[in-house]
Chains A and B, each alone.
Chain A
Amino acid sequence: MKKMMLKPRTETELAEMIAGATGPLAFCGGGTRGFDVAGEALTTSGLSGVELYEPGALTMVARAGTPVAEIEALLAENGQRLAFEPMDHRGLLGTEGVPTIGGVFAANISGPRRIQVGAARDFLLGVRFVDGTGQVVKNGGRVMKNVTGYDLVKLMSGAHGTLGVLSEVSFKVLPRPEVAATVVVQDVDLEVAVQVMSAALGSPFDVTGAAYDPVERRAYVRIEGFAGSVDYRVGRLVADLARFGAVQQVNDSENLWRGIRDVSAFHGNAGDVWRISVKPSDAVELAEQLQAEALQFDWGGGLIWALVPAGTDLRARIAVPGHATLMRAGAETRGRLGQFQPEPAPLAAISAELRAKFDPRGILNTGLMG
């Protein structure tokens, strides 16, 4: 059964609800990432609608609760897309709801193409948000180059609503390429796969995806662009990567990359899921340390999804630099281990002070990030 939720329809209503709050508030967009935070539930999904879209300027402004699907459909009509390829968490986490654009940016969610085009935060141009006192703040704008004052846009992206609740986002979009193709290197182990991906990403061929499935023992390298150009680059990569193993070209690979993006290999199976970001060349060593039941690799080896028995403290096993996020686990495990990697003391102190400045009453997704 669904809980009653606060659902403001305007930014002013949102600001009033926060200003008038007497206790902690648990914010979400569409609620598809299902984190459990104590407090009265508030969804921004009532703040919905695209306010401005200029295909010739590659920019869009939308209210935070606008469904991602609505935005993607509008972009597709104009041959454009969200290039950072945000994942849909519903399959992995077994959640319902509708992913919102505000949620995507608040959590800085980026998919396989992140290695080439950047993360969600790199596409976010401007924000309007309400801080913990109910004050509406704007930062950035709707132009692609803007260094006017501090970049609170980046700070808000990835803050998971702990510094303020996004009410409006403006962001950069990119043309949808004519075609995509995938070069598959078959029957390789992780060590070779990382070499394959490193060679591909270090080539001049604008690789937009580099992933490895250890079950299939296949490394995948994606190329996108105009048809002739993709043919040319695939040809060059096939020739170059043949030194690592049998190489094959797959042209219709949209489902394959959606599966990589959404970690479909772990949908529906038992156990906790962790998401770990490391230096790609550390992937081999890390894989040994993790002793996981199953692993999936993206970002050239730098993004690792690990499936482990429920309750496992995976962070305790990691001995390479990076960070591990607990994506799927029971409430007890999440409470005990925390969703996010604890920061080193000086950074944790800075983060805590920032939260205290923006949310002096400590009511915005309290405790979620530390």
Chain B
Amino acid sequence: MQMPSPNTAILARKAELAAKLSTVLPQDALIQDEAETRAYECDALTAYRCPPMLVVLPRTTQEVSDVLRVCHQMGVPVVPRGAGTSLAGGALPTADCVILGVARMNDVLETDYDNRIIRVQTGRTNLSVSGAVEEEDFFYAPDPSSQLACAIAGNIAMNSGGAHCLKYGVTTNNLMGVTLVMMDGTVVEIGGAHLDAGGLDLLGVICGSEGQLGVVTEATLRILRKPEGARPVLIGYDSNEVAGACVSDIIKAGVLPVAIEFMDRPCIEACEAFAKAGYPMCEALLIIEVEGSPEEIDHQLGLIIEIARSHNPVELREAQDADEAGRIWLGRKSAFGAMGQINDYMCLDGTIPVTELPYVLRRIGELSKQYGLGVANVFHAGDGNMHPLILFDANKPGDLELCEDMGAEILKLCVEVGGCLTGEHGVGVEKRDLMLHQYSPEDLEAQLKVKDVFDPQWLLNPAKVFPLSVTEGRRAVELIK
């Protein structure tokens, strides 16, 4: 993976930049010391690291605006950072950039249960948004696996999803308004407590733009009343094909569970060894959760179980109580940790049409043999968002590269069958160079034009999302006095 070489003219002006930033920020909001900036050298894609030139940690929208204005005037690239949990390298610095972290901006600004919204500063963590409205039995629906740590800013930048988005949608479906600071320091308000913006859907294009169009400092989010209850059922099959057919039949029958999770044998074995959740050893495991009152849950699970039985499951376990429900989820929720115990792994995030599931799993198995690297599959089956985990040995020379090559093959396969490179993690640097497999140069040009409008000098997170060769002419910005 390549990153642009740092601009030496910018590096030479580090002291001048720091001096200017110190006039607009409190002393503790500017980090210059190399030992301290190193803490920001990577996000959750830890294979790639590069300490930034400077780090700023503003507390207000005004401070964010001032920082961006200064950087804009000096032509310094800025990489926005939420909580640094990106698996795609979305917050990976370059040596000549300023990291703008929003972690200190974590206030709840307004909760309004009558209108079912909450307004927060975007450094607030995903789970603590729900925490802020829990007393009144409300919650914020998007639930990425990293929800304990990840920030709303990053959720908006990556349009994060989660296990329950089959019913509740992803971030973009739950975002009603933002305060956006543009690269030149201009602050704009988009959307708000009312539905559907009047003009162009700028909110829609900002969500998922990976911090390349502006820095979102405040967000109005939709909150929902919690369901009366939820209960999962666990179903095991002796083939991936049959499990896939079961998922499709459930959806066709008009039942819409809140979550349908799928694990294959390597994943089941790893989870079982790690979490001892009591999973059956079989080829494919489904965890399906429905919500409602106890009677509504009984009815929906009844329909699901009837369909599941028609496909001859090797195991069918309905949670009888909260404890059993917890154990059903235990293995799935610890899947990533479990894999990490046995191996280094790379987590992919392609999406495929659910009907292609059996074919894609078979092809992944073949690729696994071809590359000699193990793969465990765990994914959101209801919406086709796959998370193949490729196992490799970071200490073995060449293994990471082999793993990346195989990952690229799997993602190309996702595109080939009508899917996409990333369902919820974002492109970042990780999938940047695969973009031309999904989009033609003309398709990408249309996206680049949007960045040209919001950030004409290409200073915001410029080395992400698009292949460097495609953005080269645009990133070569001149320093402004």
Contacts and interface: CB of A to CB of B under 8 A. Distances in A.
B425 interface: yes
Nearest to A141: B420
A139 interface: yes
Contact of A158 (B137, B201, B251): B201
A159 B249 contact: no
Contacts of A232: 293, 295-296
Interface in B324-363: 351-355
Interface string A142-162: 111111111111110111001
Interface stretch (A2-10, A254-262, A276-284): A276-284
Contact of A347 (B202, B209, B452): B202
Contacts of B202: 155, 347, 350-351
Interface stretch (B5-13, B69-77, B186-194): B186-194
Contacts of A142: 353, 418
B67 interface: no
A141 B198 contact: no
A330 interface: no
Interface in B93-130: 112-116
Most buried by A among B354, B439, B446: B446
Nearest to A230: B296
Contacts of B383: 143-145
A315 to B, nearest CB: 11
A159 B200 CA distance: 5
A200 to B, nearest CB: 10
Interface in A288-304: 299, 302-303
Interface string A90-118: 00000000000000000010100011001
A135 B427 CA distance: 25
B274 interface: no
A321 B198 CA distance: 11
Given A154-B201, A158-B200, A159-B201, A57 B353 contact: yes
A157 B204 CA distance: 9
A152 B201 CA distance: 9
B196 A137 contact: no
B228 interface: yes
B340 to A, nearest CB: 24
Interface string B178-211: 0000100010111011111111111111011100
Interface stretch (B43-51, B167-175, B233-241, B394-402): B167-175
A358 B449 contact: yes
B227 to A, nearest CB: 5
A348 B197 CA distance: 13
Contacts of B208: 147, 150-151
Interface in A172-216: 174-178, 198, 201-204
A226 interface: yes
A145 B165 contact: yes
Nearest to A357: B449
A145 B190 contact: no
B22 interface: no
A352 to B, nearest CB: 9
Contact of A175 (B228, B254, B352): B254
A334 B300 CA distance: 50
Interface in A43-66: 54-59
A229 B252 contact: no
Given A57-B353, A145-B351, A154 B446 contact: no
Interface stretch (A17-25, A28-36, A241-249, A338-346): A338-346
Interface residues of B, number: 93
A122 B173 contact: yes
Interface string B434-468: 01001110111011011111100000000001100
Contact of B446 (A56, A299, A358): A358
B159 interface: yes
A137 B116 contact: no
A347 to B, nearest CB: 6
A58 B383 CA distance: 9
Contacts of B114: 198, 202, 280-281
A38 interface: no
- Which size bracket describes the interface of A in this complex? 35 or more
B380 interface: yes
A118 B251 CA distance: 19
A319 interface: no
A321 to B, nearest CB: 6
Contact of B422 (A56, A148, A152, A323): A148
B354 A56 contact: yes
A353 interface: yes
A145 to B, nearest CB: 4
Contacts of B276: none
Contact of B207 (A151, A299, A370): A151
A155 B419 contact: no
Contacts of A137: 442-443, 446
Contacts of A131: 446
A119 B351 contact: no
Contacts of B195: 114-115, 119, 277, 299, 302-303
Given A143-B419, A144-B351, A202-B116, A150 B450 contact: yes
Nearest to A355: B200
Nearest to B199: A343
B226 interface: yes
Which of A55, A152, A299 has the most chain B CB atoms closer than 10 A to its own CB? A152
B201 to A, nearest CB: 5
Q: Which of B421, B444, B449 has the most chain A CB atoms inside 10 A of its CB?
A: B449
A42 interface: no
B248 interface: yes
A143 B438 CA distance: 13
Interface in B238-294: 248-249, 251-256, 292-293
Contacts of B451: 150
A131 B455 CA distance: 21
B158 interface: yes
Interface of B: 112-116, 137-138, 158-159, 161, 165-166, 169-170, 172-173, 182, 186, 188-190, 192-205, 207-209, 225-228, 248-249, 251-256, 292-293, 295-296, 299-300, 351-355, 380, 383-385, 418-427, 431, 435, 438-440, 442-444, 446-447, 449-454, 465-466
Given A323-B198, A346-B188, A354-B453, 5 more contacts: A54-B355, A56-B251, A147-B423, A158-B196, A323-B194
14 contacts: A121-B201, A138-B440, A141-B351, A143-B384, A143-B423, A144-B385, A145-B423, A151-B205, A154-B204, A157-B201, A175-B256, A321-B193, A344-B189, A348-B199
- Closest 7 interchain pairs by CB? A154-B204, A323-B198, A56-B248, A175-B254, A145-B423, A279-B193, A144-B383
